[in-house]
Amino acid sequence: MTIQCKAAVLRTIGAPRPYAQSKPLSIEEVVLAPPRSGELLVRIAGAGLCHSDLSVVNGDRPRPVPLALGHEGSGEVVEVGAAIDDVRAGDHVVFQFSASCGRCRRCVEGRPQVCERAAVAKSRGELMAGGSRITSINGERIGHHSGLSCMSEYVVVDRGSVVVVDRSVPLADAALFGCAVMTGVGAVINTARIRPGDTVAIVGLGGVGLSGVLGARLAGAGTIIAIDREPAKLEVAASVGATHMVCARDADCVEQVRDLTGGGVDYAFDLAGSADSMALAYATVRYGGTVVVCGLPEAAATFSINQNDLVGQEKTIRGSYQGSCVPVRDIPRFIRLYQEGRLPVNRLIDGHIGFDQVNAGFDKLQDVKAIRQILTPHGG
C-alpha cells in the first residue's frame, strides 16, 4: 500500500547552531511508495540519534539533500513485497545500516558489511532495486539514508536491510543493536578478535565507543583503557567496565597508556573518527600491536604515519565497517547476550524523544550531553 506518514527530512546541510533554532531537520508529511519485489514496509518503533547522523547534518560527511535521515532503527513488518518468503507481517526487525544483496562476491565471501551493490545504492540515496520510495507530498524525490531513513513513522526497505529478532526484546531500544552495538562490539569481537587478557584502548566514548568498552569486557580483555576529551564520558566508561580512564586533553596521555600497560596496548580502537583520535590510537599500541579504525571522519580526512615506525614496530592498521558483522548472525547473538545481562547496552540509552525534540537532540549530541537518544515516532 501507499502510505502517507511523518518523517525527519534533512533539507539544509551545515545549518548554524543551535539546531533547536535553525531546524535543519524538517518534520514533514511524506509519501511512501508500496514495497516492490524483495522489499518490506516497516512501522518504526525506535530510531537512535547517532554521530553519523550528526556528521551529515553538520556537513562533515555531506549527502545529497533532501534526505530522510536515520540509519539505526527497529520496527514491526507491516507489508511484505513479492519474492520474500522468510519474513512475515508482524515480525520484529532491527535494521542493518549497510544492506546486503546476498549474491555479490563480498556477500558470498561472508563479508556482507561491504556488499558491493549496497554501497552503490547507498551513495545515491536509493534502495538496491533502484530509486527512492520516498517523495514529499508535492511529489519531490527524497533520498534514503543508508537504504533506510528510519527517523520516520514508516519506511520501505530492502529485505537485505533487516534482521528478524526475538519478540521479547523491547523493540524501540533494540534499535541500538543496528549501529552502536554492531559497530562497537563487532569491532572488538569480530575485527580484532580480542582474547582474554588482551590489553585494549578505546579512543572516543560515544554510543559506539562505549559499546566497544562493553564488548571488550565481554571478551575478557584484561586492561580496558577508555580515552576521551570529556571527563563525563570517562565516568560513564568506568561504570560500564573500563578498568582505567585517560583524559585525551592531558599532554602526557600516550605516556599514561604506556605506563599502564608496560609499553602500549595490544589493540587500540579509534571510535571517534578524526585524524587526532586516529593518531592517538596509533601512538598507544605496543610493538606488534594493532589499530582498528571504526570511526568515520569528515569526507576528506587523511592520516599520515611514519613508515619506519609501521615497519620497524610491525604494527597493523585495520578498517572495521559495521563491526565486520554478519548481521543475521551477530544481531541475534548480541541480543541474547543482552538478555543474559552480559552486554548491558541499555545503560547507553538516555531516553526516548518525539519528533519535536529531534533538532534539539542533535544539539545535545554535539554538546556531549547525551549518548543515545531514541526517537519513538509513534510516541511511547
Binding residues (CB under 5 A) for Zn ion: these are 50, 52, 72, 101, 104, 107, 115, 117, 179
3-state secondary structure of 227: strand
What single DSSP character describes residue 278? H
Please name the residues in contact with 181: beta carbons below 8 A apart, sequence gap of 6 or more.
211, 334, 343, 345
Query: Cβ closer to Zn ion: 145 or 244?
Result: 145
User: CA nearest 326: which of 153, 155, 186, 126?
Assistant: 186
Query: Cβ closer to Zn ion: 88 or 103?
Result: 103
Query: Cβ closer to Zn ion: 214 or 246?
Result: 214
Cβ at position 214, least distance to Zn ion in Å: 16
Pairing of strands 265-270, 285-293: parallel
Query: Cβ closer to Zn ion: 5 or 104?
Result: 104
Buried b (16+ CB within 10 A) or exposed e, 18-50: ebeeeebbebbebbbbebbebbbbbbbbbbbbb
Query: Cβ closer to Zn ion: 115 or 234?
Result: 115
- Distance, CA of 237 to CA of 250 (rounded, Å): 17
Cβ at position 146, least distance to Zn ion in Å: 9
Cβ at position 329, least distance to Zn ion in Å: 16
Cβ at position 103, least distance to Zn ion in Å: 6
- Distance, CA of 158 to CA of 99 (rounded, Å): 7
What single DSSP character describes residue 188? I
Query: Cβ closer to Zn ion: 42 or 101?
Result: 101
Cβ at position 302, least distance to Zn ion in Å: 22
- Distance, CA of 56 to CA of 365 (rounded, Å): 13
Q: Cell numbers of 113, please? A: 558489511
Cβ at position 124, least distance to Zn ion in Å: 16
Cβ at position 304, least distance to Zn ion in Å: 27
Beta-strand ranges (E) seen in the chain are: 3-10, 25-32, 39-48, 67-68, 73-80, 92-95, 134-136, 141-144, 154-158, 162-164, 199-203, 223-228, 244-247, 265-270, 285-293, 316-319, 349-353, 372-375
Query: Cβ closer to Zn ion: 69 or 281?
Result: 69
